[in-house]
Amino acid sequence: MHRGMSIDKRAAQANNPVKGLKRLLSYLKPYRLQLVIVTVLVIISTGLNVLNPYLIGLTIDRALIQLDLRELLRMVIILLSNYLISWLLHVLYGQIMAETAQKAMRNMRQGLFDHMQKLSISYYDKQQAGDLLSRLTNDMDAINQLLSQNFTSFIQSFSSLVGTLIMMFALSLSLTLAALIVIPLSLVVTRLIMKRSRPAFQNLQKTLGDLNSLMEEDIGGQRVIIAYGQQGRSLVDFKVRNQTVKDAGIKANILAGLMPPIMGMLSNLDVIVVVGVGAYLLIQGIGNVTVGLITSFSEYTRRFGRPLNQIANLFNSVMAALAGAERIFEVLDTEPKIVDCEHSVHLDMIEGRVAFEDVSFGYDPDTRVLNNINFVAVPGKTIALVGPTGAGKTTIINLLSRFYDVDAGRILIDGNDLREVCQDDLRRQLGIVLQDTFLFADTVMENIRYGRLDATDEEVVQAAKLANAD
C-alpha cells in the first residue's frame, strides 16, 4: 500500500503558491482574535495617516493662502494629534503581532520536529542531515520574517491603497482617472517578475540546504579529513557549493530587486501626470481645483504608489517564505513507513525467542541483501553473526529492531509477527549497541541512562561496570 502524498500531488502543491500561502497562514488560525485586533488597529492607524494629505491641503487653502494664523495653529494641532495617535496604534499592533507570530512559529517548529521524530529510518537514510537542519533554521527564518513583519505590512499597504483611492475619488474624479493610467502597466510588470522570481527563490533555498549538508558533514568528519590530509579537497567542495549559493542568490535577488525601482519610476511618472493635469485645470478654471487640492492630490498620488512599492518590497520575503514553506510541508507530508498496526500486540515482558522465516529484504527494491534467511535464536543463548562486509549482519539487526520491514517472509518474536508488535514495547526491551557510536552533548552518565531514563544513578554505574566503561 502506498503511503504519504503522491509525487504528482506534491508537485501540484509546490506549483500553487496560493495553496502554499493558505496552508502557511493556517498556523495563525488559533490566534484569530489577536489577528482581528491587529487588523482593526492597522486600519485605524492607516486611516488616520490617509487623512493627513487632505489636512495639509486644507491648511494651504485656509491658512497659508488666506494668511490666517489662528486657522494655521488649529490645523497644526489637528495634524500633530493625528500623527501621535497613529504612531501609538502602530506601536500597539506591532507588539501584539510580534507575540502572535512567535507563538505560530513555535507551533510550526514543534510540529515539524514532532513529525520528524515519527519518520522511519529509511527516510533519514535518504536525506542529508544538513538539508534537514536547513529546513528547521533557514526556511523557518524566512517564514518568521513573513509572519512577524510582512503580515502587518501587507495589511497596512493594502488599507492605505484603498483609503488613498477613496480620498482621491472623493476629491477629484478627473485627477483620479489621470492617476490611474499607470495601473495596468504596474500589474503587467508585477506578473512578469513574479513568474520568473519564484522558481529562482525555490532554487536558492535548495542550494542553501545543500551547503548546510556539506558543512554538517565536514564538521562531523573533521577528524577524518585532517587524518587523511584532505583539507584542500574539503575547501574546494565548499567553494563550489558556496559559489552555487551565491549565483542562486544573485539571480533571485536581481529578479526580485527589479520590482521596487520599476514601481518607483511608475509612481513618479504618475505624480508628473497629476500635477500637469491639475495645473492645467487650475489655469483654465475648470472644476474646483485649488493649490491645496493639487498639493493634496500630489501626495495622494505618491502615496498611492507607495503601498504598491511596499508590496513590491514584500515580494522578496514572500517568495523566500513560500519556498521555505514548501520544503517544510514536504517533510510534514511524508508519512512514516514503519507504523503500528491497528490491533498491535503489547508485550510487557519479552522472553527473547526470535525466528527468521524465509526472510528476504533489500534497501533498494532492485537489489536484495537477504534472500530466504531462516534461523532461530532461543532465550539465554549467545549468537554471533559472522560474514564479510555487506553480507547482511547489520541488516538483520535493523530488521530485528524494526527499523525496516521485511520484503518477504516474517520475523517472529516470542511467536508474534514483529510487524504486529507495538514498537514502544519492542524498543523498550531491546538493547542495541550501534556500529557507529554517538554521544549526546551531556555527561557520560546521562548518555548511559539514555536507554532507560528512569534508571537510578546506582543502576547506571552498575551498567557501566558491566560494559567495562566505569
Mean pLDDT of 136-165: 87
Give the position of cell 509477527: 417
> β-strands 354-361, 408-413: how paired?
antiparallel
Are the C-beta atoms of residues 93 and 45 closer than 8 Å to each other?
A: yes
pLDDT above 70 for 15? no
Provide the total of helices (H) and of strands (E) in the chain, helices listed first.
Answer: 18, 4
Mean pLDDT of 326-335: 90
Q: Report the pLDDT value the prediction gives residue 342, as an integer from 0 to 100.
A: 81
Sequence letter at residue 31? Y
* Helices 183-220 and 259-284, axial angle in degrees (round to 10): 160
Reported as half-sphere exposure (CB side, CA atoms, 13 A), residue 163 has a value of 22
Greatest C-alpha distance within the chain = 108
Sorted by sequence, the CB contacts under 8 Å of residue 240 that are 6+ apart come out as none
Q: What is the pLDDT of residues 283-318, one digit of tens each?
A: 877 777 788 888 888 888 877 767 776 776 777 778
Q: Report the pLDDT value the prediction gives residue 92, as an integer from 0 to 100.
A: 95
What's the CA gap between 162 and 430, in Å, rounded? 65
Q: What is the pLDDT of residues 223-235, one digit of tens each?
A: 677 767 778 888 8
Q: In this structure, what C-alpha cell is assigned to residue 469?
A: 566503561
CATH 3.40.50.300-classified regions of the chain: 354-438
From 155-169, 187-201, 226-240, 357-371, the region with the lowest mean pLDDT: 187-201
What's the CA gap between 127 and 110, in Å, rounded? 20
Mean pLDDT of 151-159: 88
Q: Give Rg (Cα) of the chain.
A: 33
Give the position of cell 559559489: 243
Sorted by sequence, the CB contacts under 8 Å of residue 179 that are 6+ apart come out as 168, 270, 273, 274, 297, 300, 301, 304
Q: What is the pLDDT of residues 332-357, one digit of tens each?
A: 999 988 888 888 888 888 888 999 99
Are the C-beta atoms of residues 161 and 307 closer than 8 Å to each other?
A: yes
Whole-angstrom CA distances from 376 to 10, 359, 382, 408 are 43, 12, 12, 17
Are the C-beta atoms of residues 440 and 446 closer than 8 Å to each other?
A: yes
- Among candidate residues 200, 202, 211, 196, the one with its CA nearest the CA of residue 245: 211
Q: What is the pLDDT of residues 158-168, one digit of tens each?
A: 899 899 889 88
With a pLDDT cut of 90, the percent of the chain lying above it is 21
pTM of the model: 0.67
Would you identify the CATH topology of the domain 354-438? Rossmann fold (3.40.50)
CATH 1.20.1560.10-classified regions of the chain: 7-333
pLDDT above 70 for 7? no
Q: What is the 8-class DSSP label of residue 145?
A: H
Mean pLDDT of the chain: 83
Whole-angstrom CA distances from 461 to 157, 439, 456 are 64, 17, 9
What is the residue-wise DSSP string for 71-103? HHHHHHHHHHHHHHHHHHHHHHHHHHHHHHHHH
How many residues are there in the chain?
470
> β-strands 416-417, 354-361: how paired?
unpaired
Q: What is the pLDDT of residues 56-79, one digit of tens each?
A: 888 888 878 777 788 889 989 999
Are the C-beta atoms of residues 320 and 205 closer than 8 Å to each other?
A: yes
Q: Report the pLDDT value the prediction gives residue 16, as an integer from 0 to 100.
A: 67
Q: Report the pLDDT value the prediction gives residue 3, as an integer from 0 to 100.
A: 39
Q: What are phi and psi of 120, to 5 degrees?
A: -80, 160
Write the CATH number of the domain with boundaries 7-333. Answer: 1.20.1560.10
